[in-house]
């Protein structure tokens, strides 16, 4: 067996290492069961907010948790504190700069139960529930503010490194577009206007740019299908590319032209590269690996190659660590867990 195919795993210490994933050092598993995703660092790098549906925690659908990273690294039985109220479905959490508050989207005002999952045979779909609004809670789960209150989908919010702005996705204008607002919810402003699903946006390290993923249907049948699905509160996220723009929406540029689904982008700490998840290379469709590319779309590099799902990468504020979701080491189940690694350029 060639050396570059050897993978060492130490289950006791939750340590995983592969010479093929050269940028990831001292890889550690942070969660153990269920679907755990969208883990994003606090501004001090000590915690991460994330969503989980771990049935061992008596969850019926995704709720928001605050992960103490040091505790999670050393204790596989560690259970993080739940931030959301356990009602409805939640998604897309993010710390505010004070490290004492977490914003997230929830459907709980639309009902205590998890909203129904709509399925259409033969299609992979995401639901964009009309009852999602964006809230801020303290670390004990007390909601301190409701940031959006429109009739429609408001979610996918993230915070600028400066701590002053929030970018989020809303369909209040009739399409799924990016909007910005101040951290107190004021000055809500639409910044993208192209037909298609604009979402999963993050700020550049200097807070001046935004990277996001978008579908851009152009053919008549594509446009028709997109509009019909959106009317049902659904999107088909199978054709998406990465884009950047200034915070005010100006200077819009398409970064990737890879085909299939390119999503979950995040700026490298240097501000000139973007890490993201993609299945463009896959013949079977469901094989998502992390890639990195220059912001002008050049020098594409594959970062992961273990398992068939790797997504939601985020660099720590100091740029030294990467946290992401992966279904590696799940014992043959469908579990997706959180992993953290030291980043090596």
- Calculate the CA 263 to chain-centre distance: 9
Cβ atoms of residues 303 and 275 within 8 Å: yes
Instruction: Determine whether 334 is exposed, middle or buried from the number of CB atoms within 10 Å of its CB (0-12, 13-18, 19+).
Output: exposed
For 292-304, the pLDDT digits (tens) are 999 999 999 999 9
Tell me what pLDDT residue 241 has. 98
For 73-107, the pLDDT digits (tens) are 999 999 999 999 999 999 999 999 999 999 999 99
- Percentage of the chain beyond pLDDT 90 is 91
For 120-137, the pLDDT digits (tens) are 888 899 999 999 999 999
Tell me what pLDDT residue 7 has. 33
CA pseudo-torsion sign 163, 65, 264, 269: positive
- Rg of the chain over Cα atoms, rounded to whole angstroms, equals 19
Cα–Cα distance measured from residue 301 to residue 97, given in angstroms and rounded to the nearest whole number: 31
DSSP conformation class of 330: S
Tell me what pLDDT residue 217 has. 97
pTM of the model: 0.93
H/E segment holding residue 193: none
Cα–Cα distance measured from residue 313 to residue 324, given in angstroms and rounded to the nearest whole number: 4
Instruction: Give the contacts of 182 (CB within 8 A, at least 6 positions apart).
Output: 164, 165, 166
Tell me what pLDDT residue 280 has. 96
Q: Which residues of 101-126 are buried (b: 16+ CB within 10 A; e: fewer)?
A: bbbbbbbbebeeebbeeeeeeeeebe
Tell me what pLDDT residue 310 has. 98
Instruction: Give me the DSSP letters along 92-145.
Output: EEEE-TTSSEEEEEE-GGG-SSPPPPP--TT---EE--TT-EEEEEETTS-EEE
Cβ atoms of residues 343 and 315 within 8 Å: yes
Tell me what pLDDT residue 10 has. 34
The residue ranges of the chain whose pLDDT is under 50 are 1-19
Tell me what pLDDT residue 12 has. 32
What the block records as the tokens of 183 is 């951290």
């Amino acid at each position: 067996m060639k050396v570059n195919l050897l993978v060492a795993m130490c289950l006791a210490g939750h340590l995983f290492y592969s010479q093929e994933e050269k940028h990831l050092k001292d890889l550690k598993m942070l969660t153990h069961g269920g679907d755990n995703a969208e883990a994003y660092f606090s501004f001090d790098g000590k915690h991460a907010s994330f969503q989980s549906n771990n049935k061992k925690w008596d969850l019926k659908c995704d709720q928001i948790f605050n992960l103490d990273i040091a505790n999670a690294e050393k204790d596989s039985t560690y259970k993080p504190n739940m931030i959301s109220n356990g009602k409805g479905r939640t998604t897309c959490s993010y710390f505010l700069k004070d490290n004492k508050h977490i914003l997230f989207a929830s459907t709980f005002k639309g009902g205590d139960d998890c909203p129904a999952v709509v399925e259409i045979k033969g299609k992979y779909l995401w639901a964009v529930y009309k009852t999602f609004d964006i809230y801020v809670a303290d670390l004990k789960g007390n909601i301190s503010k409701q940031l959006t209150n429109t009739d429609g989908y408001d979610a996918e919010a993230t915070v600028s490194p400066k701590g002053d702005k929030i970018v989020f996705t809303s369909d209040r204008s009739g399409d799924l577009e990016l909007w910005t607002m101040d951290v107190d919810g004021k000055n809500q402003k639409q910044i993208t206007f192209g037909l298609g699903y604009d979402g999963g946006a993050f700020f550049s390290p200097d807070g001046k740019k935004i990277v996001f993923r978008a579908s851009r249907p152009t053919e008549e049948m594509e446009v028709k299908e997109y509009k019909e699905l959106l009317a049902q509160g659904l999107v088909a996220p199978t054709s998406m590319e990465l884009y950047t723009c200034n915070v005010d929406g100006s200077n819009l540029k398409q970064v990737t032209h890879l085909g299939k689904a390119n999503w979950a982008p995040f700026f490298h700490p240097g501000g000139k590269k973007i890490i993201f998840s993609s299945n463009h290379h896959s013949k079977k469709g469901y094989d998502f690996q992390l890639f990195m590319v220059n912001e002008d779309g050049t020098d594409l590099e594959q970062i992961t190659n273990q398992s068939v799902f790797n997504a939601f990468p985020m660099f720590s504020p100091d740029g030294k660590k990467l946290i992401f979701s992966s279904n590696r080491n799940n014992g043959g189940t469908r579990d997706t867990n959180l992993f953290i690694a030291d980043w090596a350029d």
